[in-house]
Amino acid sequence: MVMMPDWRIGLAIALCPFSSIASAGSTEVQPAMGAPLAGLTAQQLARFEVGRALFVTPVAMEEGLGPIMNKSNCGSCHANPLGGWGAISVTRFGIEEKGVFMLYPGETQSLAQSLSISGFCAETIPQDATIVRTRLTNSSMAFGLVEAIPDSQIAANADPNDVNGDGISGRVHWVHALEDPTGSPLRAGRFGWKAQVATVLTFSADAARNEMGLTNRLVPADNPPNGDFARLTICDEVADPEDVLDANGSGFIDKVTDFQRFLAPPPQTPRSGMAGELLFNQVGCTQCHISQFSTSTNPSLEEAIRGKTIRPYSDFLLHDMGLLADAISDGDATELEMRTPVLWGLRRRDPMLHNGGASGGSFTSRVLTAIALHGPYGEAAASAAAVEALSPAEKAQLVKFLGSLGRREFDFDGEEHVDLFDFFALRTCLAQGATNPNDDCAVGDIDQNGVVDAADVDMFVLAYDGNNEDCNNNGYADLRDIALGVSQDSDNNGIPDECTNCPADVDGDGAVGGSDLTLVLAGWGSPGDSDVNGDGATNGTDLAAVLAAWGPCQ
C-alpha cells in the first residue's frame, strides 16, 4: 500500500479541510451523495454550481411558469439529495381499451399537471378516466456517467426473447434524443421509469416543459390544459420558447443539465465483498440489477466522465413487472414493462418503487416490502420468492448490503454526516484493528486492507465535516493527533488536552457564564467560535460543555 508522506497529509489538512473528494496514497474518499464528480476542472465546477443554484430557483410566471405545471423548480421534486430521488409523486391517466393503454380523448400526453396559474387554466383528471396511476419522482444520480454508458453495453445484456431460458427477457427501449435530428440513430433509453429518455439534455428539456411549463428550444410549445388549445391561447401569456438563451447561447435547460451531468455517483461503503452481495447474486437480483458498467472512452467526454467504472446496479432495460406494472405504455414500452431502477443511493429512499408502494418504517421493512412486491407473475417473481426463503440472518445480510449503497465512508451511525460521533467510533475500530467487509468497522476501513489503521485515520481527517483544527501547531489535525495517541483527550471533546485552556469560555472573559451561554444559543446550528467542541456545528453538545464548565476558568 502506498502511503502519503506526513508532510503532504498536513498540507492537505491545512489547505482543504473538506472537499467532495479527497485522497491519501492510492485511496480516495468517495464523494457524498449530491456532491460533484471527482476530477472536475475549475470551470466545470463553476458550471455545476450555477446549475445547482438554478435547480432550486423557482421559475416566475413572467418567465414562463405554467400555465399548467407540477412545481416551480426542479429541486422541489428531486430533493433527496438535491438532484436525486424524492418523495413526491405525479399522476398519469388515460383509458384502457381491451388491455391497451390509450391517451384520454383530446389529451396530448398522459401526465397530469396538478397546478396552474389560475383556476380557469387548471387541468383536471376526467372522472371517466379508467387508468389513474401515481409515479414517484425518479432519478439515476451521476447522470453524466449513466449517459456515457455505450449503447452497446446496455444492449449486450438484453434478451428480449429469453433465449437463455432464465425467465428474464429485458429489452432496450430505443429512442430519439430531442437534441438530435429525427433521422439520427436511435439511442438506448436509460432515464425515466419507462427508459424513455436517452440523454440528460432531453430529460431537462422534457421536464422543464412538462413539470414547470417552461418551453425551450427542444420542446417549444406549452401543454394545453386537458388538450384545450383555445384555453391555452388565453392562458399562455409569455412568448414561446420561454427559456431565453444567454450571451453564450446557454439556457436554463443547459445549465441544469450541467449540474445533473456532473453529479457524483452515490458512495458504496464498504466498496465490495460483503456477504449480503453474494446473497444478492445468488437469489438472482443481478439478472436485472447488474452491478457494473464502464463509461465510454470517447475523447469528446470530460475526463471526469470518460472511461470510468461505475456500479449503478441496473441494466437500464425494460422488464415485464407483472402485477407491479402500472398499465401505462410510453413509446415502445408496454403497459407491463418498467425500466430497472438503479440501486445506488438506495439507503436514502423513502418511499421505494415507482408507485411508492414501500414507504415508512425502517429501511429493512421498506427493502423487504419492495422485494416482496416484485412477485408474482413478473420476471422478478423467482428472485422475490428466493429472498422470502432466506433465513432471518441471511435477510439481515442482504439488507445490510443494500444499505451500503449510498452510505458515506466513516459514517458509522448512518446519519449522513461525518462528525465527532463517527470519530469516537473510528477510535474504537482503530483499537480493534482487524476487520472485514461484514463487520461494522468496515465503514472505516477505506483502503479495504482488513484493518482500521493510521492510513484510515488520515482519510477520516480529509472526510470530516467539521473544522480540522491544529491547536498545538504541529502541522497535523487535532483529531489525527488524538486518534494516533500523539495527544490525549481525557474529556472526549475532540480537543487535545494540551490545548484545552477553557474552550467553553466563548467570549474569552476568563469565566464560563451567561454570556457564553447566549453566544452558543445565538450560534445554534452553525460552525464558529460558539462551536465549543469543534465538530462543525453548534448544538446540544456545546451547550452541555458550557453548563459543565460553569464558573471561573482554571
d(CA 518, CA 504): 12
Per-run averaged pLDDT (10 residues), the chain, 554 residues: 34 36 62 96 98 98 97 96 94 95 95 97 97 94 97 97 93 95 87 97 98 98 96 96 96 98 97 94 97 98 98 98 96 97 96 96 97 93 97 98 97 95 96 94 95 96 93 91 93 84 76 90 86 85 88 77
Question: pLDDT at position 178, please?
Answer: 95
Integer CA distances (angstroms), 142 to 85, 166, 191, 493, in order = 12, 31, 11, 37
SS3 of residue 402 by DSSP: helix
Q: Which CATH class is domain 501-554?
A: mainly alpha
- By CB atoms closer than 10 A (0-12, 13-18, 19+), residue 248 is exposed
**Which residues share a beta bridge with 69?**
115
d(CA 172, CA 47): 32
Question: pLDDT at position 6, please?
Answer: 38
Residues 6+ apart with CB under 8 A from 242: 63, 64, 214, 215, 216
Side-chain-side CA neighbours of 197 within 13 Å: the count stands at 19
Integer CA distances (angstroms), 128 to 42, 89, 95, 245, in order = 54, 21, 8, 42
Three-state secondary structure readout of 484-500: CCCCCCCCCCCCCHHHC
Q: Which of 314, 265, 318, 311 is nearest to 286 (CA)?
A: 314
d(CA 243, CA 442): 48
Question: pLDDT at position 218, please?
Answer: 97
Q: What angle do CA 112, 88, 71 make, to 5 degrees?
A: 60
Q: Are 172 and 185 in contact (CB under 8 A)?
A: no
89-114 burial, b if ≥16 CB within 10 A, otherwise e? bbbbbbbeeeeebeebeebeebbbbb
Q: Are 170 and 317 in contact (CB under 8 A)?
A: yes
Domain residue extents for the chain? 1-30+412-489, 51-154+171-261, 501-554
CA dihedral 55, 58, 59, 61 (to 10 degrees): 170
The label of the residue with cell 446496479 reads 313
The label of the residue with cell 430521488 reads 85
Residues 6+ apart with CB under 8 A from 152: none
d(CA 471, CA 451): 29
pTM of the shown model: 0.86
Q: Express the helix, strand and coil content of the chain in percent, nearest 5 each.
A: 30, 10, 55
Q: Are 373 and 324 in contact (CB under 8 A)?
A: yes
Question: pLDDT at position 501, please?
Answer: 67
Integer CA distances (angstroms), 181 to 45, 178, 434, in order = 30, 8, 58
**Cell representation of residue 391:** 433465513
- Interhelix angle 363-372/392-403, rounded to 10 degrees, is 110
What are φ and ψ of residue 237, in 5° steps?
A: -100, -5
Residues 6+ apart with CB under 8 A from 364: 396, 399
